[in-house]
Each structure stands twice: as structure tokens, then as C-alpha cells.
Chains A and B, each alone.
Chain A
């Protein structure tokens, strides 16, 4: 199954975030609790951690890029060889936990 990671509405009033650092690349495997990506708001860093296991397949926004809340940051799948959808076809949101520091 294909999943998407979108920018979480982690901080009230924040409409757009900046990508700080990815903790893995295409092909990286994540277990529940692993740090996926750090996002930067005006005041805080948002740590996005996997809420379920998955394989990171494609990153849509690089460090330094800006991305609005709700937009897609990356695609994940259960197994490494599942074909990715074309374009922006809807995908289930991957479960995540996030911590604002």
C-alpha cells in the first residue's frame, strides 16, 4: 500500500513551513517511532516521527524548500517494489507522531 506524508498542522497559526532535514532517503526503512523529518516554523522545530512501519520511496521537498500545511512531503509504501502512483493521485496518510521543540 502507498502512503503519503503531508505537512502536519503542528503549530497554531502556521500556514507554511520550511524543510530542515530529512533523516533518510529513498529506500530507507522506518519503524514506528523513528525520526523521519524535521520541519521549521517561525519559532519551533517540528520532529515528525513514524507512527507505523514503512519504506520511504520519494521525497517531494528538499531542505530549504517551503511547503504549505497539508501538502505532500513524501511517499511511503509497505514493500520496496510497489509502483508509485502517477502525479498527485490521492494516497492514504501515513500515521505520524510529531513533537514541537
Chain B
């Protein structure tokens, strides 16, 4: 090749990458709608819909009351009727109220109607701890991974926030799109040309030879920081960003674990029946058993007390310690 071609990138905040994806898809397809609390003239709780209300107006962007069960139910209904609603649930904790409509209706609709109907809807919700206490801090994505018919994605960068939202809004069934409070202040480079990122493709963020560290969402930043810390001791960590939790890209993880011989999983949610446990089980079905450890929140509610919150949630020094421990096995 005469020269290496790289996409032209533009730097933007995480929330701007979300806005751009939604704006492009609403422009492309008049069936895309937004429903949720403060999504209208306010522009979204994290300003992730900033400016869209002026463009698309109240016909396509509807503020809803504090009634998550009704909002998700309405979205499932309009999706079945041929629209593509995006439902915004500001705190993932309150998605629990919408589980009946999401899990019993939207996720099963195609199966129940023998393919006659589907519910192409996106539930965009924000997980994670940032000083807001027991019922505004949880990461419950692992609960959703076991629902047949539901897809679950969790971007960690603005480029993935953009590309995965594009794919979500074109999907033929319900998608739960999980971002994180601590990701909104972060900027990153996003391709200038329209691009989408397919579901079910993990991304190797850092190549390494001694151990495979798998994570998703905000914990990817903690994982990369931990890999950087242990690199000073000559430990080489391969860091994989799952990006998509359902479907799960076990090919990439198992291929890496075959090379490194060890697996460390990291998540902000609970480890019991967690993302890491599922990743490990399915990886070792391919590779046979390998040394592994899983890190997640302590088995306690996440306090709004900053000292207790920090104690509960994994951080880079703790992940670095786990890496060193795992290397002795």
C-alpha cells in the first residue's frame, strides 16, 4: 500500500456521541422516537439529547412522567405497531420497574407471535456509582444477559457510544443500551463518516501476553489503569472490552486466554451470577480450565457515603493486586 488509510476523527464528549447517533438515525428513519423523563426541551438528564427537541419537536420526542413501567410498556406497544422508540431510563435501578413490559412482552413478542410481530425498541439507561446511594448506583446488566430475545450492550468510549447506538436503533428486537454516569465527562475521537459497530464484537484495547483482563463500560478505564500499573513491574496484560454483553464475543476472549493462559474478569456489579462468571464459564468450555479470578462490587449496597462507595467498587490498585495474585497461580 502506498499509504495507510485512517478514518478522519472528530473529538467529542461521550454524550455528544450519543446525540449524534440519535440525530442521524432520527433523520434517516421517521419511525425513531424518544420517550423518557426530561428528554424534551431539557435535552436529557446528561444532555445526551441536547438540541434534538428543536429539530424533531414534541411529535417525536415525548417527556414522560416518573412512571417507568408505563413508559417501557408504551414503548413496547408502539414498537409492535411499527415504530422504533428509544426509551431513556435515567437510572438503571429504575429499569426494574419496566422489567415486565421489557422481558415478558418486548423480548418475547416475536416468539409469541411466530414472527408476526417484533418490538424494535432501545432502552437507554445509565448505570454505576457516583455518590448517589443505594438505589441510584447499581449495575444490573448481568440480570438482563439471561433473557432470550434481549440484546445488551455497554459502550466505554464515545466512538462505541456512537457506533453501538446506531446499530441499536436499527435492530429488529429490544436492545438495552447501558452507559455510565462517570463516562459522560470523558471525551474521545469518533469517526467523522457515518459508521456503526456490530453487536457481538469485543475489542482488544491493550495487547499483552501474561494475562487476559476482561471488562466493559466504565470499568474499562479501571482495567486499563491497572494494566498500566502492573506494566511497571514487567507484567503484560491483555485488556478486552466486551462492548456487547448479549451476544457475547467468546471467540475473542477465548482466543486471548489460549495465548495468555489466565483470565481476570472485572465488573462494577455483583460477581454472583455476574458478567465475569458467564464469560469465564463460556471461555473455559472452549479452552479447558485456566487460572482465573473475578472482581466486582463487594456484596453490599453501594453507599452514598463517598468512603463507603469507594470501598465497595473496584479500583485500579485492587485490580493490580488481583493481577499479581493470579500470576502466582
Contacts and interface: CB of A to CB of B under 8 A. Distances in A.
B191 interface: no
A13 B15 CA distance: 14
Q: For B13, B14, B15, which residue has the most chain A Cβ atoms within 10 angstroms?
A: B13
A78 B130 CA distance: 42
Given A42-B14, A43-B46, A43-B47, A11 B185 contact: yes
Interface in A29-66: 41-43, 66
Nearest to A40: B13
Contact of B11 (A13, A41, A66): A66
B157 to A, nearest CB: 13
Contacts of B11: 66
B188 to A, nearest CB: 10
A59 B112 CA distance: 64
Interface in A59-87: 66
Interface string B174-214: 00000000101111000000000000000000000000000
Contacts of A43: 15, 46-47, 184-185
Interface residues on B, range: 10 to 19
A42 B47 contact: yes
Contacts of B182: 13
Contacts of A15: 185-186
A13 B13 CA distance: 13
A100 interface: no
B19 to A, nearest CB: 11
A18 B16 CA distance: 13
A18 B13 CA distance: 9
A91 interface: no
A14 interface: yes
Interface string B296-319: 000000000000000000000000
Contacts of A18: 13, 187
15 contacts: A13-B182, A13-B185, A15-B186, A18-B13, A18-B187, A41-B13, A41-B185, A42-B13, A42-B14, A42-B184, A42-B186, A43-B15, A43-B47, A43-B185, A66-B187
